[in-house]
Amino acid sequence: MTTPSRAASPASPAAPDPSAPWLVVGLGNPGGEYAANRHNVGWMVADLLASRIGGKFKSHKARAQVLEGRVGPPGPFNRRVVLAKPLSYMNLSGGPVTALRDFYKVPVANIVAIHDELDIDYGVLRLKLGGGDNGHNGLKSMTKSLGPDYHRVRFGIGRPPGRMQVADFVLKDFSGAEKKELDYFVDRAADAVEALVIEGLERAQSTYNS
């Protein structure tokens, strides 16, 4: 894990209310048959973040698995975080996320969606606030429920080869060549989420939007 610098204050506030919790959502599909799919990379990153926090996901009435914890050093950069993996299918992610937002009283600006992104090369990250869904069904559902003004950590998976359909591509496991670097890229994505929550979007973008 790359530890972001804490020496200076963030260039801009990471959230309207620094004491408000963050809701970090790994998007994916439930079920063992989907666990290693490209579409489930958000779950992979959430699982790694959970291991860093040192806890286990538990079932929540919002149809999600959740883990509450904190990230960052003691003091003003310490943040309360709720990690979540919706247990609905990808295209219904907005329901569980909205229920968790209401339950934990999370401002929309403190919600982070971790998801696969077709229009970015494999392993490349892009962090942003707001924007469209680019055809991603998980984002489409979240935006319908929440509006567009939440953070996104976009994990590049590249475009399908040849004439393969997008739906087939995202619901397949990473290739053998991709798997050789997958752990590294998932680790870097988890670092990016922590940097976003602790230091704010601009600083995290300057480090991880490669």
Residues designated catalytic: 39
Cβ proximity of 173 and 136 under 8 Å: no
> DSSP for 137-149?
HHHHHHHHHH-S-
- Distance between the two ends of the chain, CA-based, in angstroms? 17
For the range 175-180, what are the long-range contacts, defined as Cβ-Cβ under 8 Å and sequence gap of 24 or more?
A: 178/122
Distance separating alpha carbons of residues 21 and 31, to the nearest angstrom:
28
User: H-helix or E-strand containing 179?
Assistant: helix 176-199
Distance separating alpha carbons of residues 44 and 26, to the nearest angstrom:
8
